[in-house]
Amino acid sequence: MSRKIKFGSVEVSVDGEKLKVGDIAPDFLAIDNELNEYSSKEDDGKIKLISVIPSIDTSVCEIQTTMFTKARENLSDDVSLITVSNDLPFAQVRFLEEKEITNNKFVSDYIHHDFSKKYSTLINELKLLNRSVFVIDKDNKIAYAEYLDQNTDLPDYEKAIEIVKSLEK
């Protein structure tokens, strides 16, 4: 199944079924900033806030990342903030260093496309990720899922943070 979304004024497609609240979150592999394999199992037992962006080198992605990074400061150590993109790890590291971000784990899906296939976020025509947000509880169930139909829009980060806070209690 393929669904149509927008990337600015261009219509593009994403394959797969959207994940929904109550689904078990698929484990995935990605590449960390040291070019090592990252497994989402590393964060099992924590609340996972997964912020998915097309490219860190765009203003909307920077805003989304900044909003979640600032919100992370007021969350417990039981929360893991993970940003996923298809940017090369070198670009991710550059961004993290420039912005002095230390509380946001960046991983890249550029090699395996494992995350994007399992979470239905790979934009076929561009090989970038469809902007989305997932909150996964400590039992690995999806508590919140938002897929944006227009990639130049921002997600409802306040709603995602509200869900994270409700899971912390």
> How confident is the model at residue 169, as a pLDDT?
82
* Options 50, 56, 61, 122, the catalytic residue: 61
Beta-strand pair 105-108/79-85: parallel
Average pLDDT across the chain, whole number = 97
What was the pLDDT predicted at 1?
A: 85
Per-residue pLDDT at 87 exceeds 90? yes
Helices (H), the chain: 59-72, 89-99, 114-118, 157-168
User: Mean of the pLDDT values across residues 6-14?
Assistant: 97
Is 111 one of the annotated active-site residues of the chain? no
Per-residue pLDDT reduced to its tens digit, 37-82:
999 999 999 999 999 999 999 999 999 999 999 999 999 999 999 9
pTM beyond 0.95: yes
Cα separation, 50 vs 47, whole angstroms: 10
